[in-house]
Each structure stands twice: as structure tokens, then as C-alpha cells.
């Protein structure tokens, strides 16, 4: 009986093209299984005689040992990496499905209300020049109100300073310069201020509203805001217009709502568009008047969901988000 040489080498070569565990087991049984050369040769031993039988039996034992060692030395973990993942489609689905972020939910509620009143959306620039963020909004250079905005400047060396907008009011100017009155605009977006604590973030979201038309009065502004607040909280809420100051509106007010034990909470700023702003945008201030408001979306979301710490909204904590 001839015992083939290089059986291990041959097996090692074939192993290289093995892609998964089942191919590996097939290969092993080809060399060591019932129908393998080694096992058949053992069966043939009975036909041999004496010395020849002993010699061949020794060689066969050796070969079987070597083959066994060879297959045992193969690291199945390495093969598992090559293996294509097995997907059991009968397993129950892990229903951890993504959903809208609470800020987007609140934003959509606001947009829905005003779209129904025929306001159209306009998305402005987050990187803005000093002119649109301040100057055209009646904040002259060195006006003290600029200090209140804790601005992030991008490049102080530029002639027309670049900054991250501190409010969405910059879109008022773009809109009035690009479109003639009447205007009913809503402008949602991110704004930036150098501020960070439980109730302030360096980046937050506002929605700006602007209406410019003939015969617009402060009572139109009041009616619009009160209507929105009742809709948003789905009940009649105590609302207070508190006199305030913004360079771009006159008169100006901040709007507070009464919220349980917490008392009065401010949710937006508003006022009648200052005639200087209308003039900066080439709108005839004798013919047209306007009102504007800016809503803090995170503040509304905190009230809507009963969240105490504004930073929760951006902590990417899925437990918190799922709870909401
Ligand atoms: N832009 C103001 C702010 O961020 C809010 C505002 C908008 C006030 C429009 C009046 C009119 O505080």
C-alpha cells in the first residue's frame, strides 16, 4: 500500500480557500472522516501480512496524528471573521426606532400654527455680517445693547465683521430688502451666544416672526401672540406683555406666561418694527408698519415637556429622549 506524501501540505493549501466553519468541517472530514484515505487504509490493513502490516499501521497512525494536530491548530475565530453574518429573520424586532427630536417637535408645532396664518418660512444665514445682525437693526456702533448679545466674532480683521448671528432678527433685514410689502415671514434657525448654564446654551434655536403691512397695530401683535400661546399649550394661559427694550422695535415688549408654582416665565421678545429699520430696508415708513417677535424654542420645549435643565436637549442621552 502506498501512503501519499505531502497530505498535510495539500490540506494546508486547501484550507486557504476555506471561507466559513462548514467548509472547514467538510475539509477536515475529507482527510479524517469515515471515507477519508486514512480511514480506508486502516480498513485495508487486514489484507496485509506480518511486517508490512506493522510498518503501514505505524505510518498511518503517525499520519492520522499529524492531520489531527493540523486541524486542531486552526483558529476557528479567524474563520468566523471571514464568515458572512447570519441573520435570523424569525427573531423579534428590537423596536428601538428613531424619532423626532423634542426641539424639532416643538419647532414643527410653531411652524404649523403660523403657516396656517399664511406666513411663509425663510431660512437665513448663521454666519452673518455685523450689518445684518446689528447695524441695520438700529444697533449703531458702540450701542450698549450690543454688549448684551455676547457675540462670537469670526474674524475681527475684516472690514465688515463676520459673526455667528446672535438672533434670528437678521432675517428680517434680508426679507425686507428682498421682498416688497406686505410681508408675513417666519424664520426658524440656530443662533449663538457666548453663554452656558442651566438655562442658557451657546447655541440655541429661535423662530422669528415678521409682519409688514398697511394698518398693522400693536393689537394685531397681541392677538397673534396670545392666539399662538393658547394653541401651543392647548388651553387658555395667563399671558403678560411686559414693556422692554430692543433697538429694532418700538414699542417693545417681552411676553411672560404664568406657569404653575414657577410664576411668570419669559418666552419671547416682540414689538412694532422701528421706523429706522423700515427705512434701512427701503420700505416707506409712512405707508407701512410692522410687528416682529422672536421665540426661544428651547424655552418653550422646557415648558412643554417639563424639562428643568436646557442642556438635556443636546446631551444625546437616549434614555432622556425616549422618555420624552
Ligand atoms: N431678537 C430678540 C432677541 O433675541 C427677540 C426679538 C425679536 C425682539 C423680534 C423683538 C422682535 O432677544
- Evaluate whether residue 92 is within a structural domain: no
**Region 227-233 average pLDDT:** 95
One domain, residues 57 and 166? no
How many domains, in total, are found in the chain?
Answer: 2
> Is the model more confident about 98 or about 174?
174
* pLDDT tens-place string over residues 255-296: 999 877 778 989 999 999 999 999 999 999 999 999 999 999
Answer yes or no: is 91 within a domain.
no
Same structural domain, 75 and 149: no
Cα of 73 from ligand 1 centre, angstroms? 73
Does residue 254 lie in a domain region?
Answer: yes
- State the pLDDT at residue 32: 93
Q: What is the CATH number for 178?
A: 3.30.930.10
List the residue whose alpha carbon is closest to atom 10 of ligand 1.
Answer: 270
286 within some domain? yes
Which among 51, 82, 113 is the end of a domain? 82
Phi–psi pair at 102, nearest 5 degrees: -55, -35
Lowest-pLDDT choice from 34-48, 138-152, 181-195: 138-152
Q: Is the CB of 151 under 6 A from ligand 1?
A: no
Q: Is residue 30 part of a domain?
A: yes
Q: What is the pLDDT of residues 213-224, one digit of tens each?
A: 999 999 999 999
Q: What is the mean pLDDT of residues 231-242?
A: 92
CA-nearest residue for atom 4, ligand 1, is 167
Query: pTM higher than 0.85 for the full model?
Result: no
CB of residue 133 inside a 6 A radius of ligand 1: no
155 and 257 share one domain: yes
- The grid coordinates of residue 43 equal 480498513
Q: How confident is the model at residue 2 (pLDDT cuts 50, 70, 90)?
A: confident
Tell me: do 134 and 196 sit in the same domain: yes
Q: Whole domain around residue 47: which residue ranges? A: 7-82
- Clarify whether residues 76 and 106 are in a common domain: no
Could you report the per-residue pLDDT of 117-130, keeping only the tens digit for each? 999 999 999 999 99
Residue 145 maps to a domain? yes
Helix segments in the chain, DSSP class H: 7-16, 21-32, 37-44, 50-72, 76-82, 102-116, 130-133, 144-147, 170-178, 218-233, 275-280, 297-305, 318-323
Pick 29 or 94 by higher pLDDT. Answer: 29
Average pLDDT across the chain, whole number: 90
270 C-beta closer than 6 A to ligand 1: yes
Residues 107 and 222 in one domain: yes
Task: Determine whether the shortest distance from the Cβ of 292 to ligand 1 is under 6 A.
Answer: yes
Claim to verify: residue 189 and residue 71 sit in the same structural domain: no
Residue 199 burial (CB count, 10 A): 13
The reply to whether 109 and 167 lie within a common domain is yes
Amino acid at each position: 500500500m502506498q501512503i501519499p506524501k505531502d497530505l498535510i501540505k495539500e490540506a494546508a493549501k486547501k484550507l486557504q480557500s476555506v471561507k466559513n466553519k462548514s467548509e472547514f468541517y467538510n475539509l477536515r472530514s475529507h482527510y479524517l472522516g469515515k471515507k477519508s484515505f486514512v480511514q480506508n487504509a486502516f480498513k485495508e490493513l487486514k489484507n496485509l501480512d506480518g511486517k508490512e502490516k506493522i510498518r503501514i499501521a505505524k505510518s498511518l497512525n503517525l499520519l492520522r496524528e499529524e492531520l489531527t494536530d493540523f486541524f486542531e491548530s486552526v483558529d476557528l475565530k479567524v474563520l468566523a471573521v471571514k464568515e458572512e453574518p447570519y441573520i435570523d429573520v424569525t427573531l423579534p424586532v428590537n423596536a428601538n426606532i428613531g424619532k423626532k427630536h423634542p426641539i424639532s417637535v416643538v419647532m414643527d408645532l410653531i411652524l404649523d400654527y403660523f403657516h396656517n396664518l399664511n406666513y411663509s418660512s425663510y431660512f437665513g444665514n448663521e454666519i452673518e455680517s455685523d450689518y445684518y445682525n446689528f447695524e441695520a437693526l438700529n444697533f449703531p456702533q458702540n450701542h450698549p445693547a450690543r454688549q448684551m448679545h455676547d457675540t462670537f466674532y469670526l474674524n475681527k480683521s475684516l472690514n465688515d465683521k463676520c459673526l455667528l448671528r446672535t438672533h434670528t432678527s437678521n432675517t428680517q433685514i434680508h426679507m425686507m430688502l428682498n421682498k416688497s410689502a406686505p410681508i408675513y415671514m417666519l424664520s426658524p434657525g440656530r443662533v449663538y451666544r457666548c453663554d452656558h448654564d442651566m438655562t442658557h446654551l451657546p447655541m440655541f434655536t429661535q423662530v422669528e416672526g415678521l409682519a409688514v403691512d398697511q394698518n398693522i397695530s400693536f393689537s394685531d401683535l397681541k392677538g397673534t401672540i396670545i392666539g399662538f400661546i393658547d394653541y401651543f399649550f392647548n388651553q387658555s394661559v395667563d399671558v403678560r406683555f411686559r414693556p422692554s427694550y430692543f433697538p429694532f422695535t418700538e414699542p417693545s415688549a417681552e411676553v411672560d406666561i404664568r406657569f404653575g408654582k414657577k410664576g411668570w416665565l419669559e418666552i419671547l421678545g416682540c414689538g412694532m418694527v422701528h421706523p429706522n429699520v423700515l427705512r434701512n430696508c427701503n420700505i416707506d415708513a409712512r405707508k407701512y408698519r410692522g410687528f416682529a417677535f422672536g421665540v426661544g424654542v428651547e424655552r418653550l420645549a422646557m415648558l412643554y415637556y417639563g424639562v428643568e435643565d436646557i442642556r438635556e436637549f443636546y446631551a444625546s442621552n437616549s434614555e432622556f429622549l425616549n422618555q420624552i
